[in-house]
Chain A
Amino acid sequence: MTTFTVPIDNGDSVKIAEEESQRTLYPYVTGTSIVAIKYKDGVLMASDMGGSYGSTLRYKNIERVKAIGKHSLLGASGEISDFQEILRYLDELTLNDNMWDDGNSLGPKEIHNYLTRVMYNRRNKFNPLWNTLVLGGVKNGKSYLGMVSMIGVSFEDDHVATGFGNHLARPILRDEWHADLSFEDGVKLLEKCMRVLLYRDRSAINKLQIAKITEEGVTVSQPYSLKTFWEFSSFHNPTAGAEGSW
């Protein structure tokens, strides 16, 4: 805290602490990628359950995908405390909306818009919520999938990915996603992406949840792990034919 001295009437001077502006400079506990796709009956969203504290894997049981109201799923990567704050804001929002008691409920499009406004306004004050959010949902038979970043970039698409998923999962999704995927095919596609992320993202852990939202409602699966393959002959004996090399 920087302090400065101020002269006061009786000739003495007083040390006054300047209020340090409090704003987010860097994230502390972070979640890694989220991958989500639209499928036949709605939206599927996958995330792992890890919360990293810098380069330590501190928390292994963080749910980074939550249901919002009746019609939406929110997944977040980035700072976990900011995600919890956003959940509080959305709680307030849905509560206030409920109090009107008019039979209407907030759909995914409205929540996405609200989040975009919140994120963009925070960035304009140089105090961002350090998250990339994925908003998926179904209302009146129409599925919706969108994304908002910490600087307020917001868009809708048939498949989205955050963080490392942008580089590793998006190429696979662009190639292999098609409209009207069945539930099994959708899960297989998401697992394919999550497996590549598990191999190649250092902050990924092998404990993931897949959440599904359809007209009927939200289901979040129990945590499970993926099978990985390490039995390449090159891995067993990398210096075959060149003993002692590396």
Chain B
Amino acid sequence: MTQSSVDLPPKGGFSFDLCKRNDMLTQKGLKAPSFLKTGTTIVGLIFKDGVILGADTRATEGPIVADKNCEKIHYMAPNIYCCGAGTAADTEAVTDMVSSQLRLHRYQTGRDSRVITALTLLKKHLFNYQGHVSAALVLGGVDITGPHLHTIYPHGSTDTLPFATMGSGSLAAMSVFEAKYKEGLTRDEGIKLVAEAICSGIFNDLGSGSNVDICVITKGHKEYLRNYMEPNPRTYVSSKGYSFTKKTEVLLTKITPLSERVEIVEVAGEAMEE
């Protein structure tokens, strides 16, 4: 039987061909490789003049910390940033892709990007992949229509909120926000609250840790405060750290012949048997 020699163009969307094979392999006992996830606490809030985004910096691979100081706040446009939780590759790829699309769109329209444009591009992509692109995002920015903050779930649904948290540490961070958030916060109050929420995630959630990253976006201006807070520094037993002398040191020049310390008994007869 001859195969058709015409090369059909690949159909769009996710190819589910290997899923049956993977199912069969897991049934036979093969453990699927675990993805590099970001564990994570990511937050965002709207304050008086704009949006503040925050994130922790720990990337986990199962129970191991793969990256102690990764960057989870991704650039989308000069006035829009996006925090990502979930599979690290997915958040990187999807934010990179939409960032490029936004740039091309800016060239074409001659205008600054709007947050809902980024939102629609992201949710379209994620819905198309039916949740298999495991990216949970907190998107924030300030455009001509004002400050906006959105959450985007892996299946493609979105929310518009005054304050938002995502990731494994989202409950710890949300408890801080629910207890302390008010409208019309100043820049310093907002930064303090975001840092508190991220710290709550860092110290109460095992999937989050290390440092706090913060990004403040206002009209016409943004500030990316990388490692704004480092509440988990390396500590040494001695405050000076360790220092070892670099050359060989002579400690003692006194020679003690061993025969003085040890009693040697001559045993008559046979020596050790072979």
Q: Which residues of A contact B (CB under 8 A)?
A: 164, 167-172, 174-175, 192-193, 195-196, 199-200, 232-235, 238-242, 245-246
Report Cα–Cα, A246/B157, bound state, in Å: 9
Report Cα–Cα, A20/B137, bound state, in Å: 49
Residue of A nearest to B201 (CB): A171
Report Cα–Cα, A240/B147, bound state, in Å: 10
Report Cα–Cα, A226/B120, bound state, in Å: 38
Report Cα–Cα, A199/B171, bound state, in Å: 12
Q: Which of B199-221 contact A (CB under 8 A)?
A: 200, 203-204
Within the complex, the shortest CB–CB distance from B49 to chain A, in Å, comes to 15
Residue of B nearest to A199 (CB): B178
Do A195 and B161 have beta carbons less than 8 Å apart? no
Report Cα–Cα, A164/B174, bound state, in Å: 13
| 24 interchain pairs, CB-CB under 8 A | A167-B171, A167-B175, A168-B172, A168-B174, A168-B175, A169-B175, A170-B172, A171-B176, A171-B200, A172-B179, A174-B203, A174-B204, A196-B175, A200-B175, A200-B178, A233-B162, A233-B183, A234-B46, A241-B116, A241-B145, A241-B148, A242-B160, A245-B116, A245-B119
Do B179 and A242 have beta carbons less than 8 Å apart? no
Q: Which of B120, B158, B178, B204 contacts A170 (CB 8 A)?
A: B204
Do B179 and A232 have beta carbons less than 8 Å apart? no
Which residues from B are CB-within-8-Å of A196? 174-175, 178-179
Within the complex, the shortest CB–CB distance from A204 to chain B, in Å, comes to 12
The reply to whether the CB of B231 lies closer than 8 angstroms to some CB of chain A is: no
The reply to whether the CB of B131 lies closer than 8 angstroms to some CB of chain A is: no
Do B146 and A240 have beta carbons less than 8 Å apart? yes
Do B179 and A192 have beta carbons less than 8 Å apart? yes
The dominant DSSP class at the A interface is helix
Do B178 and A242 have beta carbons less than 8 Å apart? no
Do B171 and A200 have beta carbons less than 8 Å apart? yes
Within the complex, the shortest CB–CB distance from A195 to chain B, in Å, comes to 7
The dominant DSSP class at the B interface is helix
Contact with A along B67-91 (1 / 0, CB 8 A): 0000000000000000000000000
Which residues from A are CB-within-8-Å of B200? 171, 175
Do B160 and A172 have beta carbons less than 8 Å apart? no
Within the complex, the shortest CB–CB distance from B111 to chain A, in Å, comes to 15
Within the complex, the shortest CB–CB distance from A46 to chain B, in Å, comes to 15
Do B116 and A242 have beta carbons less than 8 Å apart? yes
Within the complex, the shortest CB–CB distance from B29 to chain A, in Å, comes to 26
Do B175 and A234 have beta carbons less than 8 Å apart? no
Within the complex, the shortest CB–CB distance from B117 to chain A, in Å, comes to 10
Q: Which of A164, A175, A241 contacts B146 (CB 8 A)?
A: A241
Which residues from A are CB-within-8-Å of B46? 234
Report Cα–Cα, A235/B148, bound state, in Å: 13
Which residues from A are CB-within-8-Å of B171? 164, 167-168, 200
Which residues from B are CB-within-8-Å of A232? 162, 183
Report Cα–Cα, A171/B201, bound state, in Å: 8
Q: A175-B200, A240-B146 are in contact. List 6 more A-B contacts (CB 8 A).
A: A171-B204, A174-B203, A196-B178, A232-B162, A242-B145, A242-B160
Report Cα–Cα, A42/B157, bound state, in Å: 47
Report Cα–Cα, A196/B197, bound state, in Å: 14
Which residues from B are CB-within-8-Å of A172? 175-176, 179
Which residues from B are CB-within-8-Å of A170? 172, 204
Do B179 and A246 have beta carbons less than 8 Å apart? no
Residue of A nearest to B117 (CB): A242
Do A171 and B175 have beta carbons less than 8 Å apart? yes
Report Cα–Cα, A241/B175, bound state, in Å: 29
Q: Which of A168, A171, A193, A235 contacts B162 (CB 8 A)?
A: A235
Report Cα–Cα, A169/B172, bound state, in Å: 8
Within the complex, the shortest CB–CB distance from A209 to chain B, in Å, comes to 21
Q: Which of A167, A195, A200, A234 contacts B160 (CB 8 A)?
A: A234
Do A239 and B160 have beta carbons less than 8 Å apart? yes
Which residues from B are CB-within-8-Å of A200? 171, 174-175, 178
Q: Which of B205-241 contact A (CB under 8 A)?
A: none
Q: Which of B146, B172, B183 contacts A167 (CB 8 A)?
A: B172
Report Cα–Cα, A196/B161, bound state, in Å: 17
Within the complex, the shortest CB–CB distance from A180 to chain B, in Å, comes to 22
Report Cα–Cα, A200/B176, bound state, in Å: 12
Residue of B nearest to A172 (CB): B175
Report Cα–Cα, A196/B174, bound state, in Å: 8
Within the complex, the shortest CB–CB distance from B208 to chain A, in Å, comes to 12
Contact with A along B92-124 (1 / 0, CB 8 A): 000000000000000000000000100110000
Report Cα–Cα, A37/B192, bound state, in Å: 27
Which residues from B are CB-within-8-Å of A241? 116, 145-146, 148
Do A234 and B178 have beta carbons less than 8 Å apart? no
Report Cα–Cα, A206/B69, bound state, in Å: 41
Residue of A nearest to B46 (CB): A234
